Structure formats: C-alpha cells, structure tokens
Chain A
C-alpha cells in the first residue's frame, strides 16, 4: 500500500493566487515527520518545509505553509501569492521513526503550472 499519496498529477494556478497541493499519508506510528520538496525544470530537489507529528502548530516558511490535519492524515502544502517561479514538480515525503537514518518515502508528485 502506498504510504504517501498525491492525488493531483497536475494543477494550474493564476499568478498571485494561492494554491493547495494535496498529500495524504499512511502510518500507524505516532511519531513521524512530513516534508515537501520542490523540483524545478532544472532537476534539483529543493527542501521547502517540515512538519513533525507532535508539532502543535502548522509549519510555515515564507509563502509556504503546511495544512496539517493529523486525524485525517493529510499534510497539504499551501503556496500563497503564486509566482511564475513556483512552476515545478512538488513532492510530499514522510519519515517514520523506525528509520533512524531519516530515510524518506516520497509521493508521486504534483506538477504545478503558474499562469501569468
């Protein structure tokens, strides 16, 4: 069974609008970490944001925020005020506590396209 599911293969958003990228996860452990990475067309993987399962507040990093709904096992990425440079692939990933070495399991990704 997939541990990380990203149901939106591709999305469009108008420049300057906000967009939400969906991510659901599956784990039975109470302690885990959730990550979002951005992959622009140049190919590199860029870390965006992290949420620990015990964190009381949703993580935020500049224009990025993570809408963490623990009971629903969802960790959606919200990008506010979209910019043309936000056009990229976005990957959600999870670290489970039995992975002491911080191995991450990735979702299939969502391609975001920002329209001018």
Chain B
C-alpha cells in the first residue's frame, strides 16, 4: 500500500543546531507540504512543493528550508534550531487539483529544541 512516512518520529536537539526532518511518500503525488502544529494554532503551513525542483514558502517559513530533488522526498531543514520551533511537524501529500485534494498525512515528528 502507498504511504507517507516521516523520520525521526521524536527528536530532541539544542538551540543553534541544524536539524533535518525527512518525509517520504510512495503515492507518486506531485504536491507535498510541511505543516507545524501548535496548541491553539491548528496546523500552519511552512513550505510546499508542486513538483521536482519546485519549492514555495508558506505562512510560517522563517527559519526553515526545503528541497525537492525527486518526487518521493521533501526534507525539512531547520538551519539553526530555536526554542520557538519546538512543535509537532506533519508532512503531507496530495494528488492534482482535478481530484478532491485530500491531503495524506505522515504520522508526525515531535521536535523539542532545548
């Protein structure tokens, strides 16, 4: 079965360190997204990609970067982790706009920045 997986599921790091969260999907979806979830804010969009070599900033992109070198993967990098980036991160993917546009989510990655 097709799926979307994130790793690591849990990570603790220190302020200033670089962190990369991996996201891998086997749906063959062109569209991929990174959201962060914080209490009271729901899910907020960090970055998204509509295809290979395409990346776009979302609502809360400061301090984050992504790259899309193939269809399956969209890694999220925190260049210099800050305590404000402690959150749960969700990767998601979707098919084209001709379908309902349901997002398929990964299991989430809980990041703690000390």
Binding site for B on A (CB under 8 A): 4, 6, 33, 35, 43-45, 47, 50, 52, 91, 93, 95, 99-109
Contacts and interface: CB of A to CB of B under 8 A. Distances in A.
Contacts, number: 64
Interface of B: 30-31, 33, 35, 40-45, 48-50, 58, 88, 90, 92, 94-97, 100-105, 107-108
A43 B33 contact: no
20 contacts: A6-B42, A33-B101, A35-B102, A44-B107, A44-B108, A45-B92, A45-B103, A47-B104, A100-B50, A100-B96, A100-B97, A101-B94, A101-B97, A102-B31, A103-B33, A103-B45, A104-B101, A106-B43, A108-B40, A108-B42
A47 B102 contact: yes
A62 B90 CA distance: 27
A64 B101 CA distance: 19
